Amino acid sequence: MSENYYTSADIIKKCVEAMRVPETFYSQKFIDYRSNTTDDNRLCTELIAEYLLREENYERLNGIATQSRTAVRKKYNMGHQGKYPPNADHRSEKIIGIDLFNQCKEQGTFDHIGKILDYQIPLKTQRSDPYGEIDLLSVNEDENIVYFLELKKKNAKVPATMLHCVLEAFTYYRIVDTDNLLKEFGKQGAAILIAPLVFAGDEQYKEWVDMNNGNRPYLKALMQKMRAVPFFLYGDPKKNDKCGYTVKEK
């Protein structure tokens, strides 16, 4: 069924079913619906955010268990050196992440997010785990904040919603053994915040603008509750823009 044919009850039913496994809630297809419900014309993402703000549902997400490291993945610090794989597509999220890492090495820290510490940090503790990777880990030394950055590429054919970005980053934050992660990177005592890192002008940016114009109140409340702070990338991946990215708050 197309996303354009769901009622509010349909969306809530999907939420209830997905919440049976809160660790994978963020990855459900309906999280990226941008349509409105057919019966009461509500944004699907607003309906989902409202559902997640209910105390019992938020506690399910907040109660996602930390995954201890095993022989499969003993460390978070992968020691990446910024090397590109063969036939790199500089429009892909993985390569943009490496570009940002390399730019930071060559030119210094970014505004707001600071220094990129590492990229593509795997979260699987066993091969069957459904989790992906922390796209980028950065530290703002002045504010003593480590950011889990959820990077999305520019002009994706099916762009993730801002809700998706926030939920994915929050899930990863709950899964990670944060004490060990901070220790490995020598950042003990730092606060950790989650941060969507998306391109200015893309769909997530438009949602954020809409939210700050007084719309999407449930998304705004959920982001505040999760302490999610979005940042926006300026630069052109099509130009293989290895040294031309900037990061802004708006």
Residue with tokens 């910024």: 82
- pLDDT, tens digit (0-9, with 9 covering 90-100), for 134-176: 999 999 999 999 999 999 999 888 999 999 999 999 999 999 9
pTM: 0.92
Q: Which two tokens stand for residue 172?
A: 């990863």
- Distance between CA 67 and CA 122 in Å, rounded? 12
3-state secondary structure of 179: helix
The Cα-based distances of 97 to 88, 89, 184 in angstroms read: 12, 12, 20
pLDDT in single tens digits along all 250 residues of the chain: 566 689 999 999 999 999 999 999 999 999 999 999 999 999 999 999 999 999 999 999 999 998 876 544 578 988 888 888 877 676 788 899 999 999 999 988 999 999 999 999 988 766 667 778 999 999 999 999 999 999 999 988 899 999 999 999 999 999 999 999 999 999 999 999 999 999 999 999 999 999 999 999 999 999 999 999 999 999 887 665 455 899 999 8
Provide DSSP, 27-70: G-GGGG--SB-TTT--BHHHHHHHHHHSHHHHHHHHTPPP----
Task: Using CB atoms within 10 Å of the CB of residue 172, give its burial: 0 to 12 exposed, 13 to 18 middle, 19+ buried.
Answer: buried
